[in-house]
Amino acid sequence: MPTLPDFRLETYFAKWEFNARYHLTASDAQTHSLSELLALADDDGRERWESLTLGYTETRGLPSLREEIAATYSEAEPDDILCFAGAEEAIYLAMRALLEPTDHLVVLTPNYQAAETVPLAVCEVTGVALRPEDNWALDVDAVAQAVRPNTRMVSVNFPNNPTGAVPTQESWLDLVRLCEDRGITLFSDEVYRGLELTRPPLPQATDLSSTALSLNVMSKAYGLPGLRIGWIACRDSAVLDKLERAKHYTTICNSAPSEVLALIALRARDHLLDRNRRIVAENLPVFTEFFAGYPDLFEFTPPDGGCVCFPRYRGPDGVEAMCTDLVEQAGVLLLPASIYSSALTETPGDRFRVGLGRSNPTEALAAWSDWLEKRG
């Protein structure tokens, strides 16, 4: 198989994420401290935490955790859940274990890089672009045109990273039917589900199709990336069996403390999601006012969902230079368009990712504003 390319986002973050003073491009919602999370525990969760032993855990995940995850779906049962070390392990193993060199995959762009580069290391891949002139809308006809006789999988991510797009329910159901009718596996990255802003949450793919895979994680909408607990829900037992055997070659099992903490968090999921939706909703007018103050430089459209979005930069220096100079001179971190470039389709070169899910962004925006004013 081809060697995987540099993971541009992680390489960029390795340099800046913990060195920049202001992380204004975070992809996760505001997190909790350990003490805050434990304060949300019920009696069972507290007892599990206090009596926890640090041995190996079950490969598929703590049974009670899988029960709680299954409760977030309308059709999935605990046996339909397989836990992973975050979403990235799940993406990597799903693409490596479920695709063959003779297969073909269709993926939407722009995207989280692993959704494109991991399958490209296995088989042929066609990209279908979400376009800013269409408000990043899902074009099911374009997906259908990209499908080939050997297409094994269609990979999507909604609410989308980095655009914040959420398709209409009609187009989403059309996509599910397309995959079902053609015998194609739908891989649905749903890690921002629960942070929808302008539209209701879409039905989860695995609830609509017995062959679809729904990916989720504690990192994004729940704001607990340090737990490193993600999962795939799928009602096809043969698929989960294959993924379990693949996991034997990576993490084998999950962290016992993380599983208990994830169980506590999911039992308090309404509280966590309500809080994080409120933070995004409170931040939106703050960011809207900031960008409106520089109409010659920025074009900002609020996202439909999630806690990231993809504004446009109109400055003559270009978005790459702006992002580099801003973090080096003012300590404000953004992600430039090059992080989301694709080998498969044209992607906008004048965009940058902003995170809306962290509390109190005003100091970072003030530093950005001061930098812009000093530049003249």
**In terms of domains, do 256 and 162 share one?**
yes
pLDDT, one tens digit per residue, over 207-244 is: 999 999 999 999 999 999 999 999 999 999 999 999 99
Query: CA-to-CA distance for 40 and 42, rounded, in angstroms?
Result: 7
349-365 confidence digits (pLDDT tens):
999 999 999 999 999 99
Tally of domains in the chain: 2
Q: What's 130's domain CATH number?
A: 3.40.640.10
What pairing do the DSSP bridges indicate for beta strands 22-23 and 332-333?
A: parallel
Distance CA 265, CA 274 (A): 13
Domain endpoint, select from 267, 295, 325: 267
pTM beyond cutoff 0.75: yes
pLDDT of residue 182: 98
HSE (CB half, 13 Å, CA atoms) of 303? 30
268: which residues sit within 8 A by CB, 6+ positions away?
A: 40, 41
Q: Which residues, other chains included, contact 318 with Cβ-Cβ below 8 Å and sequence gap of 6+?
A: 349, 350
CA atoms within 13 A on the CB side of 291: 19
Same domain, 106 and 125: yes
- Is 50 part of a structural domain of the chain? no
Task: Name the 3-class secondary structure at 38.
Answer: helix
Nearest to 165 by CA among 276, 310, 298: 310
Residue 42 DSSP one-character state = -
pLDDT tens digits, 271-315: 999 999 999 999 999 999 999 999 999 999 999 999 999 999 999
- pLDDT > 90 fraction of the chain, expressed in percent and rounded: 98
Q: Are residues 191 and 90 in the same domain?
A: yes
The parent domain of residue 341 ranges over 8-33+270-375
pLDDT at 2: 65
Left if phi > 0, otherwise alpha if psi is -120 to 50, otherwise beta: which for 61? left
Q: Is 295 exposed, middle or buried (0-12, 13-18, 19+ CB in 10 A)?
A: exposed
Domain boundary among 223, 245, 267: 267
Alpha-carbon span 300 to 201, nearest angstrom: 23
Q: Is the pLDDT of residue 1 over 80?
A: no
| pLDDT of 74 higher than 80 | yes
- Do 280 and 263 sit in the same domain of this protein? no
| Strand partners of residue 126 | 106
What mean pLDDT do residues 27-50 have? Answer: 98
Given 267, 282, 299, the domain boundary residue is 267
